[in-house]
């Protein structure tokens, strides 16, 4: 099953690019990320073109980003969990403008049995040989 139907990665913030995002009728619903250079600042979901246009005008985040990536999804019911997945993958400091952590809908959290990590040996670490 296909999750992402269309996408754009690290597009420059400008009117022409924002207008090139597919409309809702063309399948432009999904998840987007706003970047300052290569640093992700904000993760959002919904009508991508509208939400990015709105973010451009935002008093809080409007002048803090210069690039964006967007991912249109095949099934809009997956959109929420995809946003949460991206939020949980990125460390908090790499998405400074996103206030929420996100919660998966209907997913059961499985707790780890042992929190002690196995020791690892790296090839370049000569002291561990």
Does 125 fall in a domain?
no
pLDDT in tens, 15-68: 999 999 999 999 999 999 999 999 888 899 999 999 999 999 988 777 889 999
CATH number, domain containing residue 60: 3.40.1440.10
Q: Is the pLDDT of residue 93 over 90?
A: no
Specify the number of domains making up the chain.
1
Contacts of 30 (CB under 8 A, 6+ apart): 4, 45, 48, 70, 71, 72, 73, 79, 82
Rounded-to-integer distance, Cα 63 and Cα 36, Å: 10
Does 32 fall in a domain?
yes
Question: How remote is the C-alpha of 43 from its chain's centroid?
Answer: 5
Does 75 fall in a domain?
yes
- The closest alpha carbon to 47, from 20, 78, 23, 71, belongs to 23
Does 80 fall in a domain?
yes
Tell me the residue range of the domain where 76 lies: 4-98
- Look over the chain and give the mean of its residue pLDDT values, rounded to a whole number: 86
How far is residue 109 from each of residues 33, 86, 104, measured CA to CA in Å? 25, 17, 9
Does 115 fall in a domain?
no
Does 109 fall in a domain?
no
| DSSP structural state of residue 107 | P
Does 116 fall in a domain?
no
């Amino acid at each position: 099953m296909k999750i992402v139907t269309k996408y754009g990665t690290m597009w420059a913030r400008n009117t022409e690019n924002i207008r090139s995002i597919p409309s809702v009728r063309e399948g432009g619903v999904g998840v987007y990320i706003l970047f300052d250079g290569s640093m992700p600042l904000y993760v959002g979901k919904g009508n991508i073109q509208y939400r990015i246009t709105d973010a451009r005008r935002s008093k809080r985040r409007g002048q803090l980003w210069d690039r964006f990536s967007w991912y249109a999804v095949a099934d809009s019911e997956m959109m929420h969990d995809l946003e949460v997945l991206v939020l949980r993958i990125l460390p908090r400091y790499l998405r400074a403008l996103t206030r929420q952590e996100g919660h998966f809908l209907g997913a059961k959290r499985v707790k780890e049995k042992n929190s002690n990590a196995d020791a690892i040996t790296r090839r370049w670490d000569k002291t561990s040989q």
